[in-house]
Amino acid sequence: MTDMWRGGQGIHGAPRLRPTVVVVWGPESRERHWSPAAEKTLADFADRVDVHLAPSLEEDERQALLDGALREADALLICGWGGQGIGFLTPERLSRAPRLSFFGSTTHYHQAELVDIAAARSHGIAMSETAPAMSPWVAEYELTMALAALRRLPQEHALVGAGGWLDFAEAPDVDRLHGRRLGLVGFGAIHRHLARLLGPFETDWEAYSPHVSKEAIEASGGRMAESLTAMAFRSEILFVATPPTPQSLGLVNREVIYALGRGSLFVLVSRMAVVEQQPLIERLLAGDLRAAIDVYEPEPPPLDNPLRWLPNVIHTPHRAGNTFGAHRAVFIAQCQEAKRHFAGEPLEYPLLDEIVDLFKASAHGE
């Protein structure tokens, strides 16, 4: 056991040599999120207690079941996206879990919907948010979409499959990524990973991300853009992977979209809420732009939405981070975070209250 684990006794006086970790299971947890790697990580340092919160249970039954397990728990992990039926952890409920010192979840910073964060902090509970663990999957997909759009892979695949053929002179806009001018909207975990992937392509890239320092962007090989519109004007490819917050809703607006040069490529993998959709569709209908779109508003998009059928659009069904590997990775990360916590090591994915506040404000329309 780790040196930091102080042990102690359970409420019945039995010696505690390892921390007790409660794992909450929802109806799809085993199929979508559980893995042998998660099981092994937990077994290496903790005793596991599984709590199955079936949808057939009433809300008070689910809460009573969980609260009973938390009385002797040192950590709480939720196996799956969101709360999986735990209800809201009020100060009163937290007070009945005196040993609880770690809470791991994956909600993309919506923890304020699951727990009284101030009360958890006052109880000394460390918290992690492991959604960023799927960033490599999203960044690889984003790069794949750009490469596919530049070379028209889906269109030419369909052409050959339908019995057709093509001379290269019939598609003069098809070319490679190497040396292109790129704009990255947002420089969070996804685009930090994308920046590493772009290295061999020797691109000239800049990023617009007001909350990230110039030094952080330059350390990754790019430049900070002071103006999103000016960056779009300079970009041959615009990558959008900024999350929806009150500050970013509609960030990529008409001015930005019309700043893109004719023939530019627009790649979107975060949320359509950060894009003003109508001017994007206008320019795509006019044949001015190419696009690779993985997210829509609403989802799925209506059958008559041009993003479904335009020949200059690659369209995918919100798949960038939606794989079994990615969803299992975020729970493995929770298990690893708990292990770090009880070893006295820094968390890799600590819950950042300022980001939670942004999403909390967004949920309340502020």
Q: Do domains 8-130+324-363 and 134-315 have the same CATH topology?
A: yes
Judge contact between 294 and 323, C-beta under 8 A. no
Q: What is the identity of the amino acid at 181?
A: R
Domain boundaries, the chain: 8-130+324-363, 134-315
What pTM was estimated for this model as a whole? 0.90
Place domain 8-130+324-363 in its CATH homologous superfamily. NAD(P)-binding Rossmann-like Domain (3.40.50.720)
| Tokens 């340092």 sit on residue | 45
d(CA 145, CA 139): 10
d(CA 143, CA 17): 47
d(CA 38, CA 334): 9
Class of domain 134-315: alpha beta
From first to last of its 366 residues, the chain has per-residue pLDDT tens of 333 555 655 545 556 689 999 999 999 999 999 999 999 999 999 999 999 999 999 999 999 999 999 999 999 999 999 999 999 999 999 999 999 999 999 998 889 999 999 999 999 999 999 999 999 999 999 999 999 999 999 999 999 999 999 999 998 888 999 999 999 999 999 999 999 999 999 999 999 999 899 999 999 999 999 999 999 999 999 999 998 888 899 999 999 999 999 999 999 999 999 999 999 999 999 999 999 999 999 999 999 999 999 999 999 999 999 999 999 999 999 999 999 999 999 999 999 887 777 666 544 444
Q: What is the helix (H) or strand (E) element at residue 76, kind and residue range? A: strand 75-81
